[in-house]
């Protein structure tokens, strides 16, 4: 069962008191036939649902669709202008997030982007406003280049490049967020991966708790498969995953370490750590943990997608290297190069568009009844933006929409097409809002700010990483897990909240003029 649908079903089967929907003022948006009792429950069990929704949009000739399951309505938004109309122009009533008691037990509610408006969210807002303003940009950027250079060393070994990519991304987020050096990162990385594996498994098993919520109160020895025991374990793991790196950074600060990181900035604000309230500490733990957890998985998926595109489209890889080399002239890229080579800007944009890492985004919950284009959208509806379909719109991005073509983001003179490149669809929708701008800041605005921050971090880090890898290595001889050559027509991304490229292996060969010594010298001491 695709666990993305477990997430959605768990999110929508919250209140059994809502089985009988209120009388509506008009029709729901169109959608597939609903079965008695289960509604569209069976329609949710499908592979690559974003593609199914795109097909339905054409079949029903509607940019907005609806599905119904016991207790909830799901609204699918298939075009960018619809998402802008609802999530942006009417953002105040589309600002909530799905919530379930089961998610609370799993610890998912600790992640800021999944929090509903409440006391915890208010505390986290204060933490954002005080500690994560624009001043953190220099803190983050100072870690980007070093993590990318360390990756180039890892790729020299010829091991699994996807392992090396994950290690590099974890390196960046752990060092930038908490100031934890590579020699101390293994424990935190292992903890994060263990939490992710158990979360996926238990989210599937835990669906029964949303249908039969009374089971959650039964003893663990009575509950089938010991799911409740597993929930407790995962909840503890998630707490440990978010708390352990913070405590490590805190201990370093007390001992006088002055590593450049966002956490270090927090400790410099509050030199007397004993004066920090428990609520404030929990808030900063949640905020930093969200940046680390959310950023790592999405950027890993983005980097793996880049590598896959380079081996499937060798002509584009050669062109990118030629353009890079004509500018860099044999040196490795530096931070000063970011944004100065339009073709690499376009390549990053195309990696994001080609197979979006969050094809259905993060669900929103409608806070009150709404009417759009004559359709009634009931209060409590789960609203989902079909990001995949929006990024595969030929009217906006041109023909051959399923092919990897960076040139679609360039003008005829080779400059970046700002109209196409400015879209932030893959990382969320909305205005660039800072937490300090409004006393009545909505949850949506705050989540947009976090999405914007992660988007900007991901985009710059991806640019430096892609340029570094292409400057130093040629990627070739891609093979699947069975050792067979990869073909474009056979590639299938995973059906998950963060959709990832399939596992594959390829060779990395040093470019002419790039030596092992040059790469090692560019990094210096690993700590």
SS3 518: helix
Between CA 215 and CA 218 the distance in angstroms is: 5
CB–CB of 312/486 below 8 Å? yes
Instruction: Supply the Cα-derived Rg of the chain in whole angstroms.
Output: 23
Residue 200's alpha-carbon distances to 150, 303, 339, 363, 399, in angstroms, are 30, 22, 37, 18, 36
Alpha carbon of residue 165 to chain centroid: 16
3-state secondary structure 174-232: HHHHHCCCHHHCHHHHHHHHHHHHHHHHHHHHCHHHHHCHHHHHCCCCCCHHHHHHHHH
Residue 26 burial by Cβ neighbours in a 10 Å radius (0-12, 13-18, 19+): exposed
| Residues 117, 76: Cα–Cα separation, whole Å | 23
Would you state the structure tokens that stand for residue 435, as one six-digit string? 């937490």
Residue 339: DSSP 8-state: T
What residues form DSSP beta bridges with 312?
A: none
Find all residues with CB under 8 Å of 413, minimum gap 6, and list them. none
d(CA 188, CA 282): 18
506 is in an annotated binding site: no
| 382-385 sheet: strands from edge to edge | 64-69, 72-77, 382-385, 364-365
Residues 6+ away with beta carbon under 8 Å from 394: 401
- The C-alpha atoms of residue 351 and residue 306 are separated, in whole angstroms, by 6
- Nearest 5°: CA angle at 178, between 519 and 467? 30
Q: What DSSP string describes 129-151?
A: HHHSSTTHHHHHHHHHHHHHHHH
- Provide the CA 75 distance to its chain's centre, in angstroms: 21
Q: Which residues contact 340 (CB under 8 A, 6 or more apart)?
A: 327
Q: Which residues are annotated as a binding site?
A: 434
Q: Which residues are annotated as a binding site for heme?
A: 434
């Amino acid at each position: 069962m695709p666990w993305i649908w477990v997430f959605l079903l768990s999110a929508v089967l919250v209140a059994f008191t809502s089985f009988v929907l209120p009388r509506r003022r008009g029709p729901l948006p169109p959608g597939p036939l609903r079965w008695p009792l289960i509604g569209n429950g069976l329609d949710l069990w499908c592979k690559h649902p974003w593609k199914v929704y795109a097909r339905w949009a054409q079949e029903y000739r509607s940019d907005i669709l609806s599905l119904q399951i016991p207790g909830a309505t799901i609204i699918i938004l298939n075009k960018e202008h619809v998402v802008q109309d609802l999530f942006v122009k009417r953002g105040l009533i589309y600002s909530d997030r799905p919530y379930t008691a089961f998610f609370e037990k799993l610890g998912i509610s600790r992640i800021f982007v999944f929090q509903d408006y409440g006391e915890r969210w208010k505390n986290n807002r204060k933490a954002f406003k005080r500690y994560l303003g624009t001043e953190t940009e220099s803190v983050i950027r100072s870690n980007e280049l070093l993590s990318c250079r360390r990756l180039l060393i890892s790729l020299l070994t010829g091991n699994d490049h996807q392992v090396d990519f994950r290690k590099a991304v974890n390196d960046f987020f752990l060092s930038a967020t908490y100031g934890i050096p590579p020699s101390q990162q293994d424990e935190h990385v292992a903890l994060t991966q263990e939490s992710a594996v158990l979360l996926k498994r238990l989210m599937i098993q835990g669906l029964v708790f949303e249908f039969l919520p009374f089971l959650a109160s039964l003893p663990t020895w009575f509950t089938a498969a010991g799911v409740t025991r597993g929930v407790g374990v995962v909840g503890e793991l998630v707490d440990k995953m978010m708390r352990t790196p913070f405590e490590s950074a805190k201990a370093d600060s007390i001992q006088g370490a002055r590593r450049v990181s966002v956490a270090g900035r927090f400790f410099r604000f509050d030199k007397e750590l004993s004066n920090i309230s428990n609520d404030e500490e929990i808030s900063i733990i949640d905020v930093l943990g969200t940046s680390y957890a959310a950023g790592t998985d999405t950027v890993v998926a983005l980097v793996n997608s880049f590598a896959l595109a380079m081996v499937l489209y060798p002509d584009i890889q050669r062109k990118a290297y030629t353009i890079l080399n004509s500018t860099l002239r044999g040196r490795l890229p530096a931070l000063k190069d970011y944004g100065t080579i339009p073709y690499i800007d376009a390549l990053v944009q195309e990696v994001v568009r080609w197979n979006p890492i969050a094809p259905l985004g993060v669900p929103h919950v409608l806070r009150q009844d709404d009417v759009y284009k004559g359709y009634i959208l009931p209060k409590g509806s789960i609203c989902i933006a079909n990001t995949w379909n929006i990024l595969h719109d030929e009217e906006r991005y041109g023909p051959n929409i399923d092919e990897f073509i960076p040139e679609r983001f360039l003008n005829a003179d080779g400059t970046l097409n700002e109209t196409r490149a400015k879209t932030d669809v893959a990382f969320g929708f909305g205005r660039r809002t800072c937490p300090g701008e409004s006393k009545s800041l909505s949850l949506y605005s705050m989540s947009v700010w976090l999405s914007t921050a992660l988007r900007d971090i991901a985009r710059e880090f991806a640019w430096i990483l892609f340029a570094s890898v292409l400057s130093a290595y040629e990627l070739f001889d891609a093979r699947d897990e069975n050792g067979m050559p990869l073909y474009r027509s056979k590639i299938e991304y995973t059906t998950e909240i963060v959709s990832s490229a399939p596992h594959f292996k390829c060779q990395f060969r040093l470019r002419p003029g790039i030596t092992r010594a040059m790469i090692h010298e560019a990094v210096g001491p690993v700590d």
